[in-house]
Structure 1
Amino acid sequence: MRQGFRIRPYQPDDLSFLYRICLETGDSGQDATQLYQDPLLIGHVYAGPYATLEPELAFVLEDAQGVCGYVIGVLDTEAFNARCEREWWPPLRERYPLPATPPEQYTPDERMIARIHKGWDLKPASLDDYPSHLHIDLLARAQGGGNGRAMMETLLGALEQRGSRGVHLGVGARNERAVSFYRSVGFTELHRSPLSVTFGMRFPR
Protein backbone atom coordinates (compact mmCIF):
# COMPACT_ATOMS: atom_id res chain seq x y z
CA MET A 1 0.00 0.00 0.00
CA ARG A 2 1.36 3.42 -0.96
CA GLN A 3 2.63 5.81 1.66
CA GLY A 4 0.20 8.60 2.50
CA PHE A 5 -2.93 6.48 2.06
CA ARG A 6 -4.98 4.71 4.70
CA ILE A 7 -8.03 2.47 4.76
CA ARG A 8 -10.73 3.02 7.36
CA PRO A 9 -14.32 1.92 7.98
CA TYR A 10 -17.02 3.85 6.14
CA GLN A 11 -18.87 6.58 8.04
CA PRO A 12 -22.24 8.10 7.02
CA ASP A 13 -20.56 11.43 6.22
CA ASP A 14 -18.62 9.63 3.47
CA LEU A 15 -21.70 8.95 1.35
CA SER A 16 -21.32 12.00 -0.89
CA PHE A 17 -17.71 11.01 -1.60
CA LEU A 18 -18.82 7.51 -2.60
CA TYR A 19 -21.34 9.01 -5.02
CA ARG A 20 -18.69 11.27 -6.53
CA ILE A 21 -16.16 8.46 -6.93
CA CYS A 22 -18.82 6.19 -8.40
CA LEU A 23 -19.56 8.85 -11.04
CA GLU A 24 -15.91 9.65 -11.75
CA THR A 25 -15.13 5.95 -12.38
CA GLY A 26 -18.49 5.04 -13.89
CA ASP A 27 -17.50 4.71 -17.55
CA SER A 28 -15.61 1.40 -17.33
CA GLY A 29 -13.17 2.98 -14.91
CA GLN A 30 -13.14 6.38 -16.61
CA ASP A 31 -14.92 9.59 -15.65
CA ALA A 32 -18.63 9.40 -16.49
CA THR A 33 -19.45 12.96 -15.42
CA GLN A 34 -20.22 14.09 -18.98
CA LEU A 35 -22.53 11.12 -19.60
CA TYR A 36 -25.15 11.94 -16.96
CA GLN A 37 -27.38 14.96 -16.56
CA ASP A 38 -28.21 13.83 -13.02
CA PRO A 39 -24.87 13.13 -11.33
CA LEU A 40 -26.51 11.15 -8.52
CA LEU A 41 -28.15 8.46 -10.63
CA ILE A 42 -25.24 6.05 -10.95
CA GLY A 43 -24.50 6.35 -7.23
CA HIS A 44 -28.12 5.59 -6.37
CA VAL A 45 -27.63 2.22 -8.08
CA TYR A 46 -24.04 1.18 -7.44
CA ALA A 47 -22.98 2.90 -4.20
CA GLY A 48 -25.85 4.16 -2.06
CA PRO A 49 -27.66 0.93 -1.26
CA TYR A 50 -24.48 -0.83 -0.19
CA ALA A 51 -23.21 1.88 2.13
CA THR A 52 -26.70 2.48 3.54
CA LEU A 53 -27.91 -1.08 4.03
CA GLU A 54 -24.62 -2.85 4.91
CA PRO A 55 -22.27 -0.13 6.18
CA GLU A 56 -20.28 -2.68 8.20
CA LEU A 57 -19.00 -4.03 4.88
CA ALA A 58 -17.93 -0.66 3.47
CA PHE A 59 -14.42 0.78 3.67
CA VAL A 60 -12.88 3.94 2.24
CA LEU A 61 -9.39 4.89 1.13
CA GLU A 62 -8.20 8.38 1.93
CA ASP A 63 -5.13 10.57 1.55
CA ALA A 64 -4.32 14.18 2.42
CA GLN A 65 -6.85 15.36 -0.18
CA GLY A 66 -9.67 13.26 1.23
CA VAL A 67 -11.58 10.12 0.32
CA CYS A 68 -10.30 8.75 -2.99
CA GLY A 69 -11.60 5.20 -3.13
CA TYR A 70 -14.01 2.70 -1.63
CA VAL A 71 -14.79 -0.97 -1.47
CA ILE A 72 -18.34 -2.04 -0.60
CA GLY A 73 -19.93 -5.43 -0.31
CA VAL A 74 -22.83 -7.52 0.92
CA LEU A 75 -22.74 -10.83 2.76
CA ASP A 76 -25.83 -12.40 1.17
CA THR A 77 -26.73 -11.14 -2.30
CA GLU A 78 -30.20 -12.67 -2.29
CA ALA A 79 -31.11 -11.10 1.06
CA PHE A 80 -29.60 -7.76 0.01
CA ASN A 81 -31.57 -7.70 -3.23
CA ALA A 82 -34.80 -8.40 -1.36
CA ARG A 83 -34.03 -5.64 1.13
CA CYS A 84 -33.37 -3.19 -1.70
CA GLU A 85 -36.77 -4.06 -3.10
CA ARG A 86 -38.38 -3.26 0.24
CA GLU A 87 -36.36 -0.27 1.37
CA TRP A 88 -34.13 1.27 -1.28
CA TRP A 89 -35.89 1.24 -4.65
CA PRO A 90 -39.44 2.41 -3.74
CA PRO A 91 -38.60 6.08 -2.93
CA LEU A 92 -36.29 6.27 -5.93
CA ARG A 93 -39.01 4.92 -8.22
CA GLU A 94 -41.29 7.69 -7.02
CA ARG A 95 -38.59 10.27 -7.58
CA TYR A 96 -37.63 8.98 -11.04
CA PRO A 97 -40.62 7.83 -13.15
CA LEU A 98 -39.95 5.08 -15.66
CA PRO A 99 -39.02 6.66 -19.01
CA ALA A 100 -41.56 6.52 -21.82
CA THR A 101 -38.73 6.40 -24.35
CA PRO A 102 -38.18 3.06 -26.15
CA PRO A 103 -35.30 1.23 -24.45
CA GLU A 104 -33.17 1.27 -27.59
CA GLN A 105 -33.29 5.09 -27.45
CA TYR A 106 -32.49 5.47 -23.75
CA THR A 107 -30.00 8.09 -22.66
CA PRO A 108 -27.52 7.10 -19.94
CA ASP A 109 -29.82 8.72 -17.36
CA GLU A 110 -32.82 6.79 -18.67
CA ARG A 111 -30.90 3.50 -18.64
CA MET A 112 -30.03 4.05 -14.99
CA ILE A 113 -33.63 4.98 -14.15
CA ALA A 114 -34.80 1.80 -15.87
CA ARG A 115 -32.36 -0.14 -13.70
CA ILE A 116 -33.88 1.47 -10.61
CA HIS A 117 -37.33 0.27 -11.71
CA LYS A 118 -36.11 -3.20 -12.63
CA GLY A 119 -34.12 -3.66 -9.43
CA TRP A 120 -31.88 -6.66 -8.93
CA ASP A 121 -32.63 -10.32 -9.60
CA LEU A 122 -34.15 -11.48 -6.32
CA LYS A 123 -32.56 -14.92 -6.64
CA PRO A 124 -29.36 -14.75 -8.71
CA ALA A 125 -28.69 -17.94 -10.65
CA SER A 126 -25.52 -20.04 -10.53
CA LEU A 127 -24.01 -18.18 -7.59
CA ASP A 128 -24.67 -20.67 -4.79
CA ASP A 129 -20.93 -20.93 -4.13
CA TYR A 130 -20.46 -17.14 -4.29
CA PRO A 131 -23.30 -15.63 -2.21
CA SER A 132 -21.52 -12.38 -1.38
CA HIS A 133 -20.61 -9.65 -3.85
CA LEU A 134 -18.65 -6.42 -3.93
CA HIS A 135 -17.71 -3.25 -5.82
CA ILE A 136 -14.41 -1.39 -5.66
CA ASP A 137 -13.58 1.98 -7.19
CA LEU A 138 -10.50 4.17 -6.87
CA LEU A 139 -9.81 7.59 -8.33
CA ALA A 140 -6.81 7.84 -10.64
CA ARG A 141 -4.54 9.34 -7.98
CA ALA A 142 -5.13 6.32 -5.73
CA GLN A 143 -4.53 3.62 -8.30
CA GLY A 144 -1.38 1.53 -8.30
CA GLY A 145 1.13 0.77 -5.60
CA GLY A 146 -1.00 -1.86 -3.91
CA ASN A 147 -3.88 0.32 -2.76
CA GLY A 148 -6.51 -1.70 -4.61
CA ARG A 149 -5.11 -4.99 -3.37
CA ALA A 150 -5.05 -3.75 0.23
CA MET A 151 -8.66 -2.58 -0.01
CA MET A 152 -9.75 -5.86 -1.54
CA GLU A 153 -7.99 -7.83 1.20
CA THR A 154 -9.74 -5.69 3.83
CA LEU A 155 -13.22 -6.47 2.51
CA LEU A 156 -12.50 -10.10 1.69
CA GLY A 157 -11.27 -10.58 5.24
CA ALA A 158 -14.43 -8.99 6.62
CA LEU A 159 -16.63 -11.24 4.47
CA GLU A 160 -14.74 -14.37 5.40
CA GLN A 161 -14.87 -13.44 9.10
CA ARG A 162 -18.67 -13.20 8.79
CA GLY A 163 -18.86 -16.70 7.36
CA SER A 164 -19.18 -16.10 3.62
CA ARG A 165 -18.59 -19.13 1.39
CA GLY A 166 -17.48 -17.00 -1.52
CA VAL A 167 -17.84 -13.69 -3.35
CA HIS A 168 -18.54 -12.59 -6.90
CA LEU A 169 -18.32 -9.32 -8.80
CA GLY A 170 -18.99 -7.97 -12.25
CA VAL A 171 -16.91 -5.69 -14.45
CA GLY A 172 -17.33 -4.16 -17.89
CA ALA A 173 -15.67 -6.34 -20.51
CA ARG A 174 -13.78 -3.38 -21.98
CA ASN A 175 -12.28 -2.42 -18.62
CA GLU A 176 -9.15 -4.45 -19.27
CA ARG A 177 -7.24 -2.94 -16.36
CA ALA A 178 -9.90 -4.07 -13.88
CA VAL A 179 -10.12 -7.52 -15.47
CA SER A 180 -6.36 -7.97 -15.04
CA PHE A 181 -6.52 -6.68 -11.47
CA TYR A 182 -9.22 -9.13 -10.39
CA ARG A 183 -7.27 -12.02 -11.83
CA SER A 184 -4.12 -10.84 -10.05
CA VAL A 185 -5.81 -10.86 -6.63
CA GLY A 186 -7.14 -14.40 -7.04
CA PHE A 187 -10.54 -14.17 -8.72
CA THR A 188 -11.61 -16.74 -11.31
CA GLU A 189 -13.66 -15.86 -14.38
CA LEU A 190 -17.13 -17.42 -14.11
CA HIS A 191 -18.97 -15.94 -17.07
CA ARG A 192 -18.30 -13.59 -19.95
CA SER A 193 -20.62 -11.73 -22.30
CA PRO A 194 -19.84 -9.05 -24.89
CA LEU A 195 -20.56 -6.39 -22.24
CA SER A 196 -19.44 -7.82 -18.90
CA VAL A 197 -17.32 -10.37 -17.07
CA THR A 198 -18.33 -12.08 -13.80
CA PHE A 199 -15.60 -13.20 -11.43
CA GLY A 200 -15.77 -15.35 -8.32
CA MET A 201 -13.62 -16.37 -5.37
CA ARG A 202 -14.35 -19.15 -2.87
CA PHE A 203 -13.22 -18.95 0.73
CA PRO A 204 -11.61 -21.92 2.51
CA ARG A 205 -14.06 -23.82 4.70
Structure 2
Amino acid sequence: MPRCRCSRAAVSTTSCRTRWSAGSRCWPAPRSAAVCWPVRYAALEPGLAFVVEDGGRAVGYILGTADTASFVDRYRAEWLPGLAGRHPAPVREPATPAEAMTALMHTPERMILPELAGYPAHLHIDLLPTHQRAGHGRRLMATFLAALHEQGVKAVHLSMLTANTRARAFYDRVGFHEIAVPDPGPVTYLGRATR
Protein backbone atom coordinates (compact mmCIF):
# COMPACT_ATOMS: atom_id res chain seq x y z
CA MET A 1 0.00 0.00 0.00
CA PRO A 2 1.45 3.42 -0.91
CA ARG A 3 2.14 5.56 2.07
CA CYS A 4 2.52 9.24 2.60
CA ARG A 5 6.19 9.89 3.02
CA CYS A 6 7.01 13.47 2.31
CA SER A 7 10.71 12.83 1.97
CA ARG A 8 12.18 15.23 -0.53
CA ALA A 9 15.15 12.88 -0.94
CA ALA A 10 12.91 9.92 -1.87
CA VAL A 11 10.97 11.96 -4.42
CA SER A 12 14.16 13.55 -5.77
CA THR A 13 16.00 10.26 -6.20
CA THR A 14 13.06 8.46 -7.79
CA SER A 15 12.36 11.33 -10.17
CA CYS A 16 15.90 11.42 -11.42
CA ARG A 17 16.22 7.64 -11.65
CA THR A 18 13.03 7.35 -13.73
CA ARG A 19 14.28 10.03 -16.10
CA TRP A 20 17.68 8.33 -16.51
CA SER A 21 16.02 4.99 -17.18
CA ALA A 22 13.82 6.65 -19.79
CA GLY A 23 16.93 7.89 -21.57
CA SER A 24 16.80 11.55 -20.62
CA ARG A 25 19.20 13.39 -18.37
CA CYS A 26 18.20 15.27 -15.30
CA TRP A 27 18.19 19.03 -15.57
CA PRO A 28 20.96 20.18 -15.19
CA ALA A 29 21.97 18.01 -12.25
CA PRO A 30 19.91 15.53 -10.19
CA ARG A 31 19.48 17.87 -7.21
CA SER A 32 18.38 20.82 -9.37
CA ALA A 33 15.89 18.77 -11.37
CA ALA A 34 14.18 17.52 -8.28
CA VAL A 35 14.08 20.91 -6.60
CA CYS A 36 12.48 22.39 -9.69
CA TRP A 37 10.06 19.63 -10.41
CA PRO A 38 8.45 17.06 -8.09
CA VAL A 39 9.84 18.15 -4.74
CA ARG A 40 7.79 21.33 -4.85
CA TYR A 41 4.63 19.21 -4.61
CA ALA A 42 5.92 17.25 -1.62
CA ALA A 43 6.73 20.57 0.07
CA LEU A 44 3.58 22.52 -0.81
CA GLU A 45 1.06 19.63 -0.77
CA PRO A 46 2.53 17.00 1.58
CA GLY A 47 -0.87 15.37 2.17
CA LEU A 48 -0.98 14.48 -1.53
CA ALA A 49 2.51 12.97 -1.84
CA PHE A 50 2.63 9.17 -1.77
CA VAL A 51 5.68 6.96 -2.26
CA VAL A 52 6.02 3.24 -3.04
CA GLU A 53 9.05 1.59 -1.50
CA ASP A 54 10.80 -1.70 -2.12
CA GLY A 55 13.18 -2.79 0.59
CA GLY A 56 13.23 0.70 2.08
CA ARG A 57 14.08 2.31 -1.26
CA ALA A 58 11.66 4.63 -3.05
CA VAL A 59 10.71 3.16 -6.44
CA GLY A 60 7.77 5.35 -7.37
CA TYR A 61 5.53 8.19 -6.33
CA ILE A 62 2.35 10.07 -7.10
CA LEU A 63 1.94 13.68 -6.10
CA GLY A 64 -0.01 16.73 -7.09
CA THR A 65 -2.43 19.32 -5.87
CA ALA A 66 -6.13 19.52 -5.11
CA ASP A 67 -6.40 23.01 -6.65
CA THR A 68 -4.11 24.00 -9.50
CA ALA A 69 -4.85 27.74 -9.32
CA SER A 70 -4.08 27.89 -5.58
CA PHE A 71 -0.97 25.80 -6.11
CA VAL A 72 0.28 28.23 -8.76
CA ASP A 73 -0.21 31.14 -6.35
CA ARG A 74 1.62 29.34 -3.52
CA TYR A 75 4.38 28.16 -5.84
CA ARG A 76 5.00 31.72 -7.04
CA ALA A 77 4.89 33.21 -3.52
CA GLU A 78 6.57 30.48 -1.46
CA TRP A 79 8.70 28.24 -3.67
CA LEU A 80 9.95 30.25 -6.64
CA PRO A 81 11.73 32.96 -4.60
CA GLY A 82 14.06 30.31 -3.17
CA LEU A 83 15.02 29.11 -6.65
CA ALA A 84 15.18 32.36 -8.58
CA GLY A 85 18.62 33.32 -7.27
CA ARG A 86 20.15 30.03 -8.42
CA HIS A 87 18.05 29.78 -11.57
CA PRO A 88 17.19 33.30 -12.82
CA ALA A 89 14.42 33.76 -15.36
CA PRO A 90 15.75 33.58 -18.92
CA VAL A 91 16.07 36.90 -20.73
CA ARG A 92 16.04 35.32 -24.20
CA GLU A 93 14.33 32.44 -25.95
CA PRO A 94 15.57 29.14 -24.41
CA ALA A 95 18.26 27.46 -26.51
CA THR A 96 18.89 24.34 -24.42
CA PRO A 97 16.72 21.87 -22.48
CA ALA A 98 18.05 23.35 -19.21
CA GLU A 99 17.03 26.85 -20.31
CA ALA A 100 13.60 25.57 -21.37
CA MET A 101 13.09 23.96 -17.94
CA THR A 102 14.16 27.21 -16.25
CA ALA A 103 11.66 29.15 -18.36
CA LEU A 104 8.90 26.71 -17.35
CA MET A 105 9.90 27.05 -13.71
CA HIS A 106 9.31 30.81 -13.95
CA THR A 107 5.90 30.53 -15.67
CA PRO A 108 3.67 28.43 -13.40
CA GLU A 109 0.58 30.24 -14.73
CA ARG A 110 0.92 28.10 -17.87
CA MET A 111 -0.72 25.33 -15.81
CA ILE A 112 -4.00 27.24 -15.66
CA LEU A 113 -6.01 26.59 -18.82
CA PRO A 114 -9.73 27.32 -19.23
CA GLU A 115 -10.31 23.86 -20.70
CA LEU A 116 -9.12 22.32 -17.42
CA ALA A 117 -11.40 24.34 -15.12
CA GLY A 118 -13.68 21.35 -14.55
CA TYR A 119 -10.62 19.32 -13.44
CA PRO A 120 -9.13 21.55 -10.71
CA ALA A 121 -6.65 19.02 -9.30
CA HIS A 122 -3.63 17.70 -11.16
CA LEU A 123 -1.12 14.94 -10.59
CA HIS A 124 2.25 13.50 -11.55
CA ILE A 125 3.14 9.82 -11.24
CA ASP A 126 6.51 8.12 -11.74
CA LEU A 127 7.56 4.49 -11.29
CA LEU A 128 10.90 2.92 -12.02
CA PRO A 129 10.59 0.61 -15.06
CA THR A 130 11.59 -2.37 -12.88
CA HIS A 131 8.48 -1.76 -10.79
CA GLN A 132 5.99 -1.03 -13.56
CA ARG A 133 3.28 -3.51 -14.55
CA ALA A 134 3.16 -4.88 -10.99
CA GLY A 135 0.07 -3.02 -9.74
CA HIS A 136 1.98 -0.19 -8.05
CA GLY A 137 0.67 2.44 -10.47
CA ARG A 138 -2.94 1.40 -9.91
CA ARG A 139 -2.47 1.44 -6.13
CA LEU A 140 -0.79 4.85 -6.23
CA MET A 141 -3.59 6.21 -8.42
CA ALA A 142 -6.33 4.76 -6.20
CA THR A 143 -4.67 6.24 -3.10
CA PHE A 144 -4.31 9.68 -4.69
CA LEU A 145 -7.87 9.74 -6.06
CA ALA A 146 -9.27 8.70 -2.68
CA ALA A 147 -7.30 11.49 -0.96
CA LEU A 148 -8.69 14.02 -3.45
CA HIS A 149 -12.23 12.71 -2.98
CA GLU A 150 -11.88 13.04 0.80
CA GLN A 151 -11.02 16.72 0.24
CA GLY A 152 -14.18 17.18 -1.83
CA VAL A 153 -12.37 17.41 -5.18
CA LYS A 154 -14.52 16.04 -7.98
CA ALA A 155 -12.05 15.74 -10.89
CA VAL A 156 -8.33 15.69 -11.70
CA HIS A 157 -6.20 16.22 -14.79
CA LEU A 158 -2.67 15.48 -15.94
CA SER A 159 -0.53 16.22 -18.94
CA MET A 160 1.67 13.66 -20.60
CA LEU A 161 3.98 13.52 -23.60
CA THR A 162 1.77 12.39 -26.45
CA ALA A 163 4.56 10.12 -27.72
CA ASN A 164 4.52 8.10 -24.49
CA THR A 165 2.07 5.44 -25.64
CA ARG A 166 2.78 3.09 -22.70
CA ALA A 167 1.78 5.79 -20.23
CA ARG A 168 -1.31 6.58 -22.28
CA ALA A 169 -2.38 2.94 -22.21
CA PHE A 170 -2.03 2.96 -18.40
CA TYR A 171 -4.08 6.15 -18.04
CA ASP A 172 -6.78 4.74 -20.32
CA ARG A 173 -6.94 1.59 -18.17
CA VAL A 174 -7.43 3.61 -14.98
CA GLY A 175 -10.27 5.68 -16.39
CA PHE A 176 -8.74 8.85 -17.84
CA HIS A 177 -10.09 10.44 -21.02
CA GLU A 178 -8.66 13.07 -23.31
CA ILE A 179 -9.44 16.75 -22.70
CA ALA A 180 -9.36 18.90 -25.83
CA VAL A 181 -6.92 21.79 -25.40
CA PRO A 182 -6.07 24.01 -28.39
CA ASP A 183 -2.42 23.91 -29.46
CA PRO A 184 -1.19 21.61 -26.68
CA GLY A 185 2.28 21.21 -28.19
CA PRO A 186 3.92 17.84 -27.47
CA VAL A 187 1.53 16.96 -24.65
CA THR A 188 -1.94 15.50 -24.28
CA TYR A 189 -4.24 16.47 -21.42
CA LEU A 190 -6.26 13.76 -19.70
CA GLY A 191 -8.85 13.92 -16.95
CA ARG A 192 -11.20 11.84 -14.87
CA ALA A 193 -13.54 12.02 -11.89
CA THR A 194 -12.05 11.19 -8.50
CA ARG A 195 -14.71 8.50 -7.96
Which residue of 2 is the match for residue 3 of structure 1? none
Paired AA for residue 181 in structure 1: F
Q: Percent identity at matched positions?
A: 35
Offset, 1:17:
2.1
Instruction: Summarize deviations over 1:77-108 as a string: whole Å, max 9, x none.
Output: 110111101001112111112345542xx222
Once residues 140 and 123 of structure 1 are traced to their aligned partners in structure 2, the CA distance between those partners, rounded to angstroms, is 30
**3-state DSSP class of the match of 2:110?**
coil
Offset, 1:123:
4.1
Offset, 1:46:
2.5
Query: Is the 1:78–1:124 contact (alpha carbons within 8 Å) kept by the matching residues of 2?
Result: no
Query: Is the 1:170–1:198 contact (alpha carbons within 8 Å) kept by the matching residues of 2?
Result: yes
Instruction: Summarize deviations over 1:60-90 as a string: whole Å, max 9, x none.
Output: 0001151100000211111011110100111
- Which residue of 108, 117, 124 corresponds with 1:119? 108
TM-score by length of 2: 0.89
**3-state DSSP class of the match of 2:114?**
coil
Offset, 1:150:
0.8
For the aligned residue pairs, the C-alpha RMSD in angstroms reads 2.0
68 and 46 in structure 1: CA distance in 2 versus 1, 3 angstrom threshold: same
Q: Which runs of 5+ in 2 are unaligned?
A: none
Offset, 1:203:
3.7
Query: Is the 1:23–1:32 contact (alpha carbons within 8 Å) kept by the matching residues of 2?
Result: no
120 and 31 in structure 1: CA distance in 2 versus 1, 3 angstrom threshold: farther
Which residue of 1 is the match for residue 22 of structure 2? 30
**3-state DSSP class of the match of 2:76?**
helix
54 and 66 in structure 1: CA distance in 2 versus 1, 3 angstrom threshold: same
Offset, 1:194:
4.8
Query: Is the 1:41–1:112 contact (alpha carbons within 8 Å) kept by the matching residues of 2?
Result: no
Once residues 23 and 45 of structure 2 are traced to their aligned partners in structure 1, the CA distance between those partners, rounded to angstroms, is 26
Output aligned runs, 1:115-154, within 5 Å.
115-121=104-110, 123-154=112-143
Query: Is the 1:8–1:60 contact (alpha carbons within 8 Å) kept by the matching residues of 2?
Result: yes
**3-state DSSP class of the match of 1:136?**
strand
Instruction: Summarize deviations over 1:127-157 as a string: whole Å, max 9, x none.
Output: 2211001000001121112110111000001
Offset, 1:24:
2.6
Query: Is the 1:166–1:201 contact (alpha carbons within 8 Å) kept by the matching residues of 2?
Result: yes
Once residues 127 and 83 of structure 1 are traced to their aligned partners in structure 2, the CA distance between those partners, rounded to angstroms, is 19
Which residue of 2 is the match for residue 9 of structure 1? 4
**3-state DSSP class of the match of 1:121?**
helix
TM-score by length of 1: 0.85
Which residue of 2 is the match for residue 84 of structure 1? 75
Which residue of 1 is the match for residue 63 of structure 2? 72
Output aligned runs, 1:56-205, within 5 Å.
56-64=47-55, 66-100=57-91, 102-103=93-94, 106-121=95-110, 123-191=112-180, 193-203=184-194
59 and 122 in structure 1: CA distance in 2 versus 1, 3 angstrom threshold: closer
